[in-house]
Structure 1
Amino acid sequence: MKILVITNLYPPQILGGYERSIADFARLLQQRGHELLVLTSDTPAFFSSHPNPYSEPQVERCLLLCGQWHPERGPEWFSEQRIADVKRQNSQTLTQHLQAFQPDVCLVGNATFLPVELLEQVLAVPIAIAHYVMNAHPGYLPSLTPQSPLYRYITCSDWVSGLLQQQGYPAATAQTIYPGAAIEAFYQADLPPRDRLRIAYASLVMPYKGADILVEALCLLQAVGIEFTATIAGGTFQPEFVQALQQLSKSEGLQDCIHFPGVLSRQELCELYQRCNVLVFPSRFEEPFGISQVEAMAAGLTLITSGTGGSREIVEHGQDGLIFETENPLDLAECLSALPTQPDAWETMTRKGQQKAISHFSQTIAVEQLESLLSALSRTPAKSSHP
C-alpha cells in the first residue's frame, strides 16, 4: 500500500508517547514493504532524541499548525486571520502531495492544531482515513467530525473509545489497537536484582503525571527505615516543579537516594531499567494508555500504577502488577513496602507482568492489526481513482 500519514508532530519533534507511537507505526509499516509519506509540522521547540533500528520513511515538515503549546497555559490557538491563512496554505500543500504521492489510504495521528478541513480534503478524493486517537479527544469538536463512511477511529484503549462516545463522537465502531512497546529493545531474560527497592519513574516530570506523589511516598518509606534508591527520569515544562521536588528530597535527607537525570534516550532508559526493579506510574491524569508501563514490564520491572484511564487495562492488580489509589502516597508506600516482605510472590508477579507485556502489548501485534485495518479500508467500495 501507499500510506499517507498526517500528524501534528513527528520525531525527533515530540511531546510524548503519541508522536513516538505514530512514528514507530510508520517505520514498521515501511519495514513490512509499504510506501509511506509523512506530512507534519516543523516545530523544533519539542526536539527530543528518538533513535530506532528501522529506516525513516519520507517525512515532509510542510504543514502549519493553528496554535501552539505554552509551557504554563497549555494549548493556545492563533487568531482567526492567522488560522485562515494556515488553512489556505495547508490545503495547497496537501493538494500537491495527494497528486504526487497518490496514496491508497491515510493514517492520521495527533490532529491537535491541525484544521479538520485537511481530513475532509483527503476524504473528498476519496481516500479512506484511519484516525488513531491517543488523547481524550480527536483534536476537534464533535460537531466537526467528518461525516463519511471512509472515516474510521482507532483508539489506544477501550477507555478512550468509551470516552469518545460519551462526548458525542461516532466511535461505536472504533477498534482498539494498543500502541504496543518495543519489547525487543527492553526485554531482559534475567530479572533485575531485588535485594532492595530500586525504583524508576519515566515520564514527563509534571504535576499531572504525579511525580510529587512518588516523592511523598518515598519520604514515608524513609520514615519507617525501608531502604531504596529512586530515579525520576523525564523532561519538564515547569523547571520550578522539579526544583521543588529536589528541595523536598534534600530537606528529608534523601538527596543521595533520589536522582533526577532529566530526559533519557531509549538506550539510557533501557540501562535504567537494568538497574531498577520497580516502575512507579503515579499519574493523577486520566491516561489514554501509558506505554512506559509496558516497556518496564518487558524489562522485568514490577509495575505499580495509579491505573487512571486506559492505563488500568494494562495490569491486573495482584496478578501481574499493583494498582494504588490515585493521589494517595500512603497507599503507594504500602504497595512498595510490601514487595520485599514477600520475595517469592514479588518474583511471580513480576514474571507474569513480563509475559503479559510480550503476549499482549508488543509492537508486532499492534502493527499487524493496523496493517489489516488499513488494507481493508483501502479496498472500501467508495474508493475511486485519484485526481
Structure 2
Amino acid sequence: MVTNMYPPHHLGGYELSCQDVVERWRGRGHEVVVLTTDMRLPGVVDPAGERSRGVRRDLRFYYADGELHRPPLWKRVALERHNQRVLGDALQRGEPDVVSLWHMGAMSFSLALVDASVPLVYVVCDDWLSYGPEVDGWMHLFAGRRPVLRPFASAVERLSGVPAHLPDLAVTGTFCFVSESTRRRAEESTPWVFPGAAIVPSGVAPEDFPAPAERPGSRPWRWRLLFVGRLDHRKGIDTAVRALEFLPPAANLEVVGRGDDAYRRRLEALAAEVGASERVQFTVVARSQLAHHYRAADALVFPVRWEEPFGLAPLEAMASGTPVLATGTGGSGEYLVDGENCLLFPPDGAEELAAAVTRLGDDADLRAALVTAGLRTAASLTVDRQADALEALHQAAVAGAARRQSPA
C-alpha cells in the first residue's frame, strides 16, 4: 500500500480510513506493507515496533512544515530517484500480489509506473487526481499548469532515468472512488474518464464510536456545539463561529483538530469580533478520545464550503448518537438527508446555522428522530463494509492480471 501520510502522522480522515482498512485486512490474514513518506507531525512519535509490523516511512514528498516546497531541480531528481528505488526495492523484496495506491497528493506520480507487471488499485478519497500533477514538484514541470520543461521531457527522462511524462492513469489500474461526487470531479478536471470505477464509501469503526446506551435524543440540551476536522478555510469553521453571534450566550463551540495556524488566528480574531472569545475552545485529541467528545456535544456542526469528498465526522457523530448540522456539500450529501438524519444549511450561512441549532434545541422529538436515523446510517456505512468492498476489488485486480498473463 502506497500513501503520502499514515497515522499517527496524518492531517485528515483519508489517512484514518486507510489505516482502518489496513487493520481489517491484516485481521483477515492478509500481509499488508504500508509504504509512506517520512513526514512527521511535531510532538507525535512513531508507534513502537511499527516497522516490524509493516509500516515503512521511507518515501519523500513535496511537503514539509505545513507547506508545499519546491527544491532545486537537482534535489527533485534525487527525490524522484530515491522514491523509485524505495518502491522498487519494496516490490522486489515483498513480491506483492497487488499494489494499492491511496493518497498521492504532493507525491511522485511516476510511482505508478515502477512495475507494470504488478496490478494497481487506486483508492481515491479526495481530489488528488486533479491537483496532484501541480503539487508533484517533479511532474508539474512537465504536466502542470505551466509545464516549462514539457518540450524536453523525453531528453530529461533519458538523462535522469526518471519518468517525465504524465501517465494515462485511467488505463494503469483499477479505480474506485469514495463518492460519486469525487469521481465526477475527477472526470471534469482531468484528461481521464473512469466509466467502470466503483464507488466505495468510507466507513465508521463501531468499536471506536460505540452506539450510546441511553434512549436516542434523551440527553439534556446544553448548547454545546462541536466541530471535528482539519483547521482549513474550506471547512467553514468561521461560519460556526459567526453563528454564535445569533445564539444565546450559553452556546459554545469546541473545535477539535490540527491544521492551518494562520486560519486558527483568524478564527480567534473573529470570535473576539462577535463577542464569543470565551465561547470558542480549540483542542487536539487522540482518536481514541474522539467518541467522548462526540457524546459530550449536543450537536456536530459540519459547515464545509467546498465539495467535501466524503466527510467522516458526521458519520462518527451519528454513530455516537449526536445530531448533525451540515451543509451537505460534495460526497457528504450522498448520505446526509435533510430532516431525516441531519439538518442542512447553506455554506457560509451563519444565521441559517444558528436557526438550525435553535430549532434542534427547542425540539426534543426532532433530536430523537435525527439520532435514530443517524444510528441507522452509521450502521450501514462501516469500516467492515468498506474493507469488504475494497478487498473484493483488489482480489479481482489480481485475478484479472493472472488471466492476462496466462497463455491463451
The alignment's TM-score, normalised by the length of structure 1, stands at 0.87
CA contact (8 A) 1:77 1:113 kept: no
Is residue 137 from structure 1 mapped to residue 128 from structure 2 by the alignment?
A: yes
Is residue 202 from structure 1 mapped to residue 228 from structure 2 by the alignment?
A: yes
Judged with a 3 Å threshold, the aligned counterparts in structure 2 of structure 1 residues 185 and 215 are, in CA distance, closer, same or farther, namely same
- The answer for the alignment partner of 2:56 in structure 1 is 60
Judged with a 3 Å threshold, the aligned counterparts in structure 2 of structure 1 residues 56 and 326 are, in CA distance, closer, same or farther, namely farther
Partner deviation per Cα, 1:35-86 (whole Å, 9 max, x = no partner)? 11111111113665899xx999401111122x11564xx5334333222212
Q: Which runs of 5+ in 2 are unaligned?
A: 134-142, 145-164
**What does 1:110-189 align with in structure 2 at a 5 Å threshold?**
110-122=103-115, 124=116, 126-138=117-129, 139-140=132-133, 144-146=166-168, 149=171, 151-167=173-189, 168-187=191-210, 188-189=212-213
Pick from 377, 383, 389: which aligns with 1:369? 389
Query: The residue matched to 1:335 in structure 2 has which SS?
Result: helix
Give the AA of the match of 2:112.
L
CA contact (8 A) 2:308 2:331 kept: yes
The structural deviation recorded for 1:241 is: 3.3
Give the AA of the match of 1:236.
G
**What does 1:313-328 align with in structure 2 at a 5 Å threshold?**
313-328=334-349
After superposition, the CA RMSD in angstroms is 2.6
Is residue 19 from structure 1 mapped to residue 15 from structure 2 by the alignment?
A: yes
Query: The residue matched to 2:128 in structure 1 has which SS?
Result: coil
Pick from 242, 252, 275: which aligns with 1:229? 252
Partner deviation per Cα, 1:260-292 (whole Å, 9 max, x = no partner)? 2x2111232111112112100011122111111
Query: The residue matched to 2:247 in structure 1 has which SS?
Result: helix
- The answer for the alignment partner of 1:246 in structure 2 is 268
Partner deviation per Cα, 1:338-381 (whole Å, 9 max, x = no partner)? 1122221221122101111111x110110000111111111114
CA contact (8 A) 2:271 2:280 kept: yes
Deviating more after overlay: 8-17 vs 322-331: 8-17
- The answer for the alignment partner of 1:342 in structure 2 is 363
Q: Which runs of 5+ in 1 are unaligned?
A: none
CA contact (8 A) 2:11 2:230 kept: no
CA contact (8 A) 2:104 2:128 kept: no
Partner deviation per Cα, 1:171-223 (whole Å, 9 max, x = no partner)? 2221111111112311223246133332111112232211111011111113x
For 1:56 and 1:199, locate their aligned partners in 2 and report how far apart those are by CA, in whole Å. 41
The structural deviation recorded for 1:255 is: 4.2
CA contact (8 A) 2:170 2:194 kept: no
CA contact (8 A) 1:201 1:233 kept: yes
CA contact (8 A) 2:234 2:306 kept: yes
For 1:284 and 1:147, locate their aligned partners in 2 and report how far apart those are by CA, in whole Å. 29
Give the AA of the match of 2:252.
T
Give the AA of the match of 2:223.
L
Is residue 101 from structure 1 mapped to residue 94 from structure 2 by the alignment?
A: yes
Q: Across the two proteins, how many residue pairs are aligned to each other? A: 368
CA contact (8 A) 2:110 2:166 kept: no
**What does 1:307-318 align with in structure 2 at a 5 Å threshold?**
307-318=328-339
Is residue 276 from structure 1 mapped to residue 297 from structure 2 by the alignment?
A: yes
Judged with a 3 Å threshold, the aligned counterparts in structure 2 of structure 1 residues 196 and 56 are, in CA distance, closer, same or farther, namely farther
Judged with a 3 Å threshold, the aligned counterparts in structure 2 of structure 1 residues 311 and 354 are, in CA distance, closer, same or farther, namely same
Is residue 217 from structure 1 mapped to residue 243 from structure 2 by the alignment?
A: yes
Pick from 75, 79, 87: which aligns with 1:86? 79
Give the AA of the match of 1:68.
Y
The alignment's TM-score, normalised by the length of structure 2, stands at 0.83
Deviating more after overlay: 281-290 vs 365-374: 281-290
Query: The residue matched to 1:169 in structure 2 has which SS?
Result: coil
- The answer for the alignment partner of 2:321 in structure 1 is 300
For 2:354 and 2:170, locate their aligned partners in 1 and report how far apart those are by CA, in whole Å. 50
CA contact (8 A) 2:38 2:59 kept: yes
For 1:145 and 1:162, locate their aligned partners in 2 and report how far apart those are by CA, in whole Å. 20
For 2:86 and 2:185, locate their aligned partners in 1 and report how far apart those are by CA, in whole Å. 33
Give the AA of the match of 1:135.
D
For 1:306 and 1:50, locate their aligned partners in 2 and report how far apart those are by CA, in whole Å. 36
The structural deviation recorded for 1:247 is: 4.4
CA contact (8 A) 1:50 1:265 kept: no
CA contact (8 A) 2:97 2:398 kept: yes
Judged with a 3 Å threshold, the aligned counterparts in structure 2 of structure 1 residues 147 and 287 are, in CA distance, closer, same or farther, namely closer
